[in-house]
Amino acid sequence: QVQLVQSGAEVKPPGSSVKVSCKASGGTFDSYAINWVRQAPGHGPEWMGGIIPIFGTPNYAQKFQGRVTLSADKSTRTAYMELSGLRSEDTAMYYCARNFLALSLVQPFDIWGQGTLVTVTA
């Protein structure tokens, strides 16, 4: 059974960057898209982008283009999300989530990490 385990909570000052990791255990890693979704308190989820590790080319939501960098390390089965230029509105829970079927970005998300709380504060 595949599990996604994310790195711990972060507190960052405005203008800085944060990098969150998502390590997969069990199952296949390379051929399933890993997506990043954030959720601000009291709001619905918001998709930031996704990456299929075997291909390595990320697909970003336009809203985050230029501020977010997704990557994946096949050797350690770990995906990363780095968000730069942090502002208070970026305070949210950040989730990684795996696609239901392999080799496609057009899929629902059936396996989720536990979430990483990122707080942006001076």
Query: In the 8-state DSSP scheme, what is residue 89?
Result: G
Place of tokens 């829970």: 93
Q: Measured in Å, how far apart are the chain's first and last C-alpha atoms?
A: 40
Q: Does 21 bind another protein (CB under 8 A)?
A: no
- Does residue 110 belong to the site contacting another protein (CB under 8 A)? yes
Instruction: Let me know if 44 is exposed, middle or buried by CB neighbors in 10 A (0-12, 13-18, 19+).
Output: exposed
Q: Could you say which of 20, 68, 97, 118 contacts another protein (CB under 8 A)?
A: 97
Kindly state whether residue 107 participates in binding another protein, applying the rule CB under 8 A: yes
Task: Give the C-alpha separation, 118 to 93, whole Å.
Answer: 6
8 or 13: whose CB is closer to another protein?
8
CB of 113 to another protein, least distance (A): 7
Interaction between residue 26 and another protein (CB under 8 A):
no
Using CB under 8 A as the binding criterion, the count of chain residues that bind another protein stands at 24
Tell whether the torsion through CA atoms of 75, 79, 85 and 87 is positive or negative.
negative
Name the amino acid, one letter, at 39.
Q
C-beta of 27: minimal distance to another protein in Å? 14
What's the closest the beta carbon of residue 47 comes to another protein, in angstroms? 4
- Which stretches of 6-118 are DSSP H helices? none
Q: What is the CA radius of gyration of the chain?
A: 14
Residues 45-84: x where in contact with another protein by CB under 8 A, - otherwise, as a string = xxx--x--------x-xxx---------------------
